[in-house]
DNA sequence: CGCCTTCTTGAGGGTTCTCAAAGTGGGTGG
DNA sequence: CCACCCACTTTGAGAACCCTCAAGAAGGCG
């Protein structure tokens, strides 16, 4: 039952960007799955293996990462409840990256076969999946740009703006008040910083009166200034569809 | 005629990762298009507009970029001949980024409508397009990881390894000897560096005997050492298909 | 109460940036 | 054919940002 909630969230995420009819919605909601639970800090998908299922986050927080020989890692995507971590593994089952649980997490494992069948049967679903992949890529591109050209403080500000909106969208808080269940070391892995410098960047934002934190609870005190510092424009999250397309004719 | 070559290159790129039958191949090769020519340094797609066509690079080199208020830009994808710059714009026509010609470039403009029609009619083509998007995203993730966790020298080494392989794949040289028609400032925009520091990183690789350059011609003298420095593993380019899927049944 | 993880603080060093100017080379016009 | 110009590359010096190493506080859990 709370498992159905996860599929509903996934469907809701798809419907943000794509329109699906009754049949297609039902098809999504009746996807088969198995449930897996993971405590925090577990790499539940190892880098460099072939998978035959995709992971839908039902609860908690997951991160896709790339790891280097020296053990350092970079998190290249954050996945909130309702996000399919590796929809991209459906067309390309060999994944070079791993997925870790950032907090305690419940995940639905959905067989690739079922997702493939749906997208062959329903072109609109194929488009919806493709769109979802594009949206992930758009976030990735934004992160890359920030990583390459902005300071630590600016990147952190940008990430907080993004997470606020995504949390709100997922029904897990508001864009100005949410709980982010990660350690500072994990956030540093997202932003390409050391834990020490992330900590100092957080302090800077607090000192400027832009945010307030209480444990892992974040409150954004000055949205305007934070977005300004980050040059944040939610456009890239692709939240208002693009669906002129998927129907025949 | 040389226009057909571009479509053939695009098809060849798709066939690296997907299998398409005679009909489907013909359909790709008969896509309609218009031709556009651009000199170097032109932003031929402006950030933040809606497009109704996709750009296939026929000749030259193009870069997708994100730009900041201070004018600094980050290139988030490099496109060689045969690459479709913005296949992702087919399902999501509003793009936040721009595309610039890095060198003199010839581009085929292909109406979204035609691409959509193909992917509705041929599920295998829809999968092939989706896969292509996934491959782009995989490169993006790798760049992000490098950007976040590796030094300038290591990132540059990684980029040169990648470009070598992609050049070879596109029939434009070998992985150890190719001509990269970009300025150092543009390469700096790819790697998130300043032009000055990129120049010094290049000098470092030359001094170590790893590469040799002559104008914009690159020769890799010690592939093993260069790949080692970069921790380069071509896996992420997703060059060996994953097509168990697209056929019904 | 004690352990373990996480957060915070400090000091020093290295990579990369900024600013500025000099060298190089290809193209164009006289 | 030479001279000039422009874009690009290279060099230098100093500063800023971020990292490393290390250790001390704080908070959660048994």
pLDDT in 10s for each residue of chain B, 249 residues: 467 899 999 999 999 999 999 999 999 999 999 999 999 999 999 998 899 999 999 999 999 999 999 999 999 999 999 999 999 999 999 888 999 999 999 999 999 999 999 999 999 999 999 999 999 999 999 999 999 999 999 999 999 999 999 999 999 999 999 999 999 999 999 999 999 999 999 999 999 999 999 999 999 999 999 999 999 999 999 987 666 554 543
What is the DSSP code (8-state) at residue A105?
A: E
pLDDT digits (tens, 9 = 90+) for A67-97: 999 999 999 999 999 999 999 999 999 888 9
Q: How many CB pairs under 8 A join A and B?
A: 161
Which residues in chain A are closer than 8 Å to B236, comparing Cβ atoms? Answer: 96
Q: Rounded mean pLDDT of A107-117?
A: 97
Q: Tell me what pLDDT residue B215 has.
A: 92
Spatial distance from the CA of B161 to the C1' of D19 (Å): 27
Q: How many Å does it take to go from CA B60 to C1' D16? A: 38
Nearest to B74 among A17, A64, A145 (CB): A145
Bridge partner list, A211: A220
The pLDDT of A186-201, averaged and rounded, is 98
3-state SS, one letter per residue, for chain B? CHHHHHHHHHHHHHHHHCCCCHHHHHHHHCCCCEEEEECCCEEEECCCEECCEEEEEEECCEEEEEECCCCCEEEEEEECCCCECCHHHCCCCEECCEEEECCCEEEEEEEHHHHHHHHHHCHHHHHHHHHHHHHHHHHHHHHHHHHHHCCHHHHHHHHHHHHHHHHHHCCCEECCEEECCCCHHHHHHHHCCCHHHHHHHHHHHHHCCCEEEECCEEEECCHHHHHHHHCCCHHHHCCCCCCCCCCCC
Rounded to whole angstroms, the distance from the CA of residue B203 to the C1' of nucleotide D23 is: 40
Q: Nearest Cβ partner of A92 from B64, B192, B242?
A: B242
Q: Which of B129, B149, B244 sits opposite A72 (nearest CB)?
A: B149
CB contact under 8 A, A238 and B94: yes
CA dihedral A109, A113, A115, A118 (to 10 degrees): -150
CB contact under 8 A, A72 and B238: no
What is the rounded CA–CA span in Å between residue A85 and residue A76?
11
C1' (C8) to CA (A196) span, angstroms: 9
The nucleotide lying nearest A197 (C-alpha to C1') is D18
Check: CB of residue B127 under 8 Å from CB of residue B241: no
Rounded Cα–Cα distance for residues A224 and B135 (Å): 36
**Mean pLDDT value across residues A200-204:** 98
- Protein A196 CA to nucleic acid C11 C1', in Å? 14
Q: Which nucleotides of strand D lie within 7 A of protein CB?
A: 7-13, 17-22, 27-28
| pLDDT value of position B246 | 47
Q: Which residues touch strand D (CB under 7 A)?
A: A 151-153, 192-194, 196-197, 201, 215; B 40-41, 183-185, 195-196, 199-200, 202-203, 216
The size of chain A, in residues, is 249
Dihedral sign for Cα A185, A189, A193, A198, please: negative
DSSP H or E run through A135: helix A123-149
Three-state DSSP class for A219? strand
The pLDDT value recorded for residue B173 is 95
Cβ B144–A143 below 8 Å, yes or no? yes
Statement: the CB of A151 is under 7 Å from strand C: no
Rounded CA gap, B138 and B16, in Å? 15
Flag if B130 and A129 touch (Cβ within 8 Å): yes
Rounded (10°) angle between helices A112-121 and A123-149: 120
**Which residue in chain A is spatially nearest to B86 when comparing CA positions?**
A134
Do B92 and A137 count as a contact with CB atoms less than 8 A apart?
Answer: no
- CA atoms of A181 and A183, how far apart (whole Å): 7
Going across the sheet that includes A53-59, the strands are A34-38, A105-111, A53-59
Give the model confidence (pLDDT) of A153-188 as tens digits. 999 999 999 999 999 999 999 999 999 999 999 999
* Residue of chain A minimizing CA distance to B87: A134
Choice between B249 and A109, residue whose per-residue pLDDT is larger? A109
B66, B88, B119 ranked by CB distance to A137: nearest: B88
Partner-chain contact B119 A134, CB within 8 Å: no
Tell me the chain B residues in contact with residue A120 when contact means C-beta distances shorter than 8 Å: 123, 246, 248
Where is A142: in which H helix or E strand? helix A123-149
CA B60 to C1' D5, whole Å: 26
Contacts of B245 (CB under 8 A, 6+ apart): A90, A91, A112, A116, B127
Phi/psi region, residue A122 (left: phi>0; alpha: psi -120 to 50; beta: rest), is: beta
Q: Measured between CB atoms, which of A68, A133, A192 is closest to B134?
A: A133
């Amino acid at each position: 039952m709370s498992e159905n909630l996860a599929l509903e969230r996934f469907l809701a995420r798809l419907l943000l960007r794509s329109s699906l009819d009754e049949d297609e919605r039902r098809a999504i909601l009746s996807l088969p799955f198995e449930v897996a639970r993971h405590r925090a800090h577990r790499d539940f998908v190892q880098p460099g293996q072939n998978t035959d299922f995709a992971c839908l986050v039902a609860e908690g927080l997951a991160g896709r990462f790339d790891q280097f020989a020296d053990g350092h890692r970079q998190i290249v995507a954050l996945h909130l409840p309702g996000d399919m971590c590796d929809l991209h593994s459906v067309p390309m089952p060999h994944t070079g990256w791993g997925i870790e649980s950032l907090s305690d997490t419940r995940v639905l494992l959905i067989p690739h076969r079922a997702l493939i069948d749906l997208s062959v049967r329903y072109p609109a679903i194929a488009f919806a999946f493709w769109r979802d992949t594009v949206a992930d890529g758009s976030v990735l591109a934004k992160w890359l740009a920030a990583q390459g050209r902005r300071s630590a403080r600016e990147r952190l500000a940008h990430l907080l703006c993004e997470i606020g909106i995504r949390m709100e969208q997922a029904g897990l808080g508001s864009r100005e008040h949410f709980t982010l269940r990660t350690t500072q070391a994990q956030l540093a892995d997202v932003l390409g910083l050391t834990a020490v410098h992330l900590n100092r960047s957080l302090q800077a934002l607090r000192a400027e009166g832009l945010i307030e934190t209480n444990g892992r609870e974040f409150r954004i005190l000055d949205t305007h200034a934070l977005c300004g510092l980050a040059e944040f424009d939610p456009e890239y999250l692709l939240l208002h569809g693009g669906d002129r397309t998927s129907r025949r004719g």
